[in-house]
Amino acid sequence: MDSLAKTNRSRIFDVLSEGLLFVRGGESTCVYDTDADEVFQQEATFIFVTDFHEPDCFAVLDCYDKKYHLFVPHLPAEYAVWLGEIESLESIQKRTGCDYIHYTEELPTFWKEMPESKRLLITNKFSKGSVGEVPSSFTMTEDADKTIHELRMFKTPEEEGRILESCRILGECFRETIKFATPGRYEYQVDARLRYEGMMRGSRFVSFAAIPATGKSAATLHYIHCKKQLKDGDMFLLDAGVMYKGYASDVTRSFPVNGKFTEKQKELYQVVLDSQMACIEMLKPGVEWRDVHAKSLEMLTKGLLKVGILKSEFSLEEHLKNHTATWFQGHGIGHSMGLAVHDIGAFPEGRGRFSEPGYSSLRMNRILEPGIVVTIEPGCYFVDVVLNDVKKTPEKVKYVNFDKVAEYSAEIGGIRIEDDIIITKDGYKMLTNIPKTVEELEALKSE
């Protein structure tokens, strides 16, 4: 039995001294209007609480007595013909370490037989519709999200270990896939190669639909069409992740398809890499996530001034005041990560999303603390719809040298560099280790 879920249940019991915490697992589903089974992937919070990866289950944590009840479906004996041997309740209990094991059909009776002194039912938004028939004497709340979101933000050593393994697998996937991404291939073939490499290394699932984007496609932040052919001279952006035992990884690398950066590709790539390194060096407890994003915009502004895309007749301060870098980096500096690639808990109570220009795209509003896992992923993109708006707006167009934009965008759609990092008590620890300097990428492509 893995200690990960046991540790997490203890953390929940430390926070909740009363109540019955009800958590619904993921459901078995079919493909649209058919009877063809979808491949099952467990719901994230259910993994956090149980680490049990079977469908159609429920869990109840009795916070009064610190006991764990697991409810599993009662499958008819004939299902064994289609599904294989049906595991006994005794075997499941031994495998999971639950204190009590039940069939899901027993849930209404479970509620009815609960003593009057234990009739506070705590659910989350995902689970509340599955509690079934509950006696009217129960008090029901949806406070579970607030508790679990906060706990999921701070990774235990066991969780860090799974994320680290997910990142290790992803690193090997990226090395092989970068070498595979050569002129003549198609974007969907690059995606297929990464999935294959992950599965061969023990990762059954990806953490999100990969973004394999060649040439101009890389200007689309969440590009999903994946139909274009890779051409000699293209820059290729690969943003992808895998899952390991429920935990995500997420990396982006940008590289020349033919293995050699042109001078302009190299210059702009270095601008983004310098931004990423500066942001990573900021990471430590006590730092506001907003300030990390601000550093990325400052570094991008300086870099675009250096290569001449932003006009140097205006000061750095004026460019920052007018958010000119956001016309080339329209996303936030990164996000939290864990059981989901964009993990929950990023906006704690009292800290909502930013509304001010340049910061509204941030996916987190927290002060960094030990145990938080984040991605750092600055970028630079030539997005036609954005730049056309800049051209048409007199108070914006004066800041941009569009002759330079044309020169660089002829060779680059977009560049993003992303790594996964955990905050430690003294600073940070890199979880990913994949070639990313110009020299390292060119060497990898030449293998």
Residue ranges of domains in the chain: 3-152, 157-445
Task: Report the distance separating Cα 427 and Cα 77, nearest Å.
Answer: 55
Give me 436's structure tokens.
């990313």
Question: What pLDDT, on the 0 to 100 scale, is given for residue 320?
Answer: 97
For 399, phi then psi, to 5°, come to -90, -10
Nearest-5° Cα angle at 85, 84 to 88: 145
Give domain 3-152's CATH architecture. Answer: 3-Layer(aba) Sandwich (3.40)
Question: What pLDDT, on the 0 to 100 scale, is given for residue 2?
Answer: 66
Among 218, 221, 224, which residue's Cα sits nearest to residue 191?
A: 224
Fold of 157-445: Creatine Amidinohydrolase (3.90.230)
Average pLDDT over residues 253-276: 98
Give me 389's structure tokens.
């708006």
pTM, two decimal places: 0.96
Q: Name the strands in the sheet holding 100-103, side by side, starting at the edge strand that comes first in the sequence.
A: 100-103, 67-72, 58-62, 20-24, 120-122, 139-141
**Among residues of the chain, what percentage have pLDDT more than 70?**
100
Task: Note the residue count of the chain.
Answer: 447
Question: What pLDDT, on the 0 to 100 scale, is given for residue 1?
Answer: 56
Task: Report the distance separating Cα 166 and Cα 247, nearest Å.
Answer: 7
Instruction: Classify 88 as helix, strand or coil.
Output: coil
Question: What pLDDT, on the 0 to 100 scale, is given for residue 274?
Answer: 98
For residue 320, the surrounding DSSP H or E stretch is helix 316-321
Expressed in percent and rounded to 5, the helix, strand and coil fractions of the chain are: 40, 15, 45
Task: Report the distance separating Cα 416 and Cα 436, nearest Å.
Answer: 11
Task: Report the distance separating Cα 19 and Cα 5, nearest Å.
Answer: 19
pLDDT in tens, 24-80: 999 999 999 999 999 999 999 999 999 999 999 999 999 999 999 999 999 999 999
Average pLDDT over residues 153-181: 98
CB 250 within 8 Å of CB 420: yes
For residue 232, the surrounding DSSP H or E stretch is none
Average pLDDT over residues 252-277: 98
Q: How far is CA 189 from the centre of its chain?
A: 23
CB 12 within 8 Å of CB 147: yes
Instruction: Classify 286 as helix, strand or coil.
Output: coil
Average pLDDT over residues 168-190: 98
CB 362 within 8 Å of CB 333: yes
CB 294 within 8 Å of CB 362: no
Give 76's DSSP letter.
-
Task: Report the distance separating Cα 447 and Cα 444, nearest Å.
Answer: 5
pLDDT in tens, 121-155: 999 888 888 888 899 999 999 888 889 999 999 99
pLDDT in tens, 371-426: 999 999 999 999 999 999 999 999 999 999 999 999 999 999 999 999 999 999 99
Average pLDDT over residues 296-310: 98
Question: What pLDDT, on the 0 to 100 scale, is given for residue 143?
Answer: 82
